[in-house]
Structure 1
Amino acid sequence: MPTTSPRILTLPGWQNSGPDHWQSRWERLHGYERLEQHDWQRPLRGDWSARLQEVVVDSPGPVVLVAHSLACLLVAWWAAHSPDARKVQGALLVAPPDVERPDMRQQLPGWAPMACQPLPFPAVLVASRNDPYGSAAHAQALADAWGCQYADVGERGHLNADSGLGDWPEGLALLQTLIATKD
């Protein structure tokens, strides 16, 4: 029986991912699809969750989620509430912010509390030791709560275009390993 290749969806965080962001580069290089949100500047958790639900339900086969920043929290929240999370083959979760910090809570109201239950699919959480939006200890605690593999990539900032990752082959290798290890 032939296996269906998963649909790879990139999920940018707050304010979207610009053309030099690794997510945008992966879309151009590998044909991955961006999950577009209605409002990138004022993200509402309910609206973003509804959009993710819509796209996953409409996917004919399995999906793999490639989330950056706030979208990591979206994936966890959505997975905790959607019976359609079973369609997700795996997730790469990169640089989750700590929206429970007072400064982040003000910038991104409505995203706290974060969902902290185990994800119903395999996932790898990738974090930098000097991310200005969330500490490495916070990222490790989320990985533990979500039941994810944890990948520490050293001091690379927020793992965005400003981090100088280019096509980010290290992240792509993590994604490919995640996809290949799914039974």
Structure 2
Amino acid sequence: MSPPRIGEPPLRTHFDVFGLKRAYDVDVPALEKQYRELSLQLHPDRVAQASARERLQALEGTTALNEAFKTLKDPVRRAFYLLKLHGIDLDREDAGAQKDMPLAFLEEVMDLRESLDTAMAKKDLGRARAMADDVEARKKAALTEAAESLRTLEAGEPGDGGQEQVRKASHALGRVRYFTRFLEQVDAFEEEIQA
């Protein structure tokens, strides 16, 4: 996220939409309650007889609210979003953090993919599911690691200006991204086998 230019209003984050402090941990039931309340206030039907500008503002407000809610209620999306607020956008294909992943991990991912390809070629769903169970546990561990780094980063604890925490979070979320893709491939294989 680039800083606003002089004279521009500061950019609003998804946290700002809900008046929340920027943090990894979010009270999801409270967020859901606030979302319902704000949805009623911002709903475009409330301004159906208003000017085109007011209707457009209501629509834009509702769109921003929906996007903020979808991001903040999900711990994985929230983690990726927080990292993006720190200048690392892992959704971009050219994201530096993805290129910066440790070589040992990338080799491990290649081995996992080859093992999955072999299981798929043999139509061995049991082997693929066993691999998926292991990868799911590793994905959860990587998300936990990312969350800890993001908590430390958002708390502003002293150190190297947060660069080490950003690096740790980006590597952990990079692993989450790879593991998610692996699990999606196993799910697609399972659907294909059961079809």
Q: Give me the TM-score of the superposition, normalised by structure 2.
A: 0.26
| More strand by percentage | 1
Which structure: greater helix fraction?
2
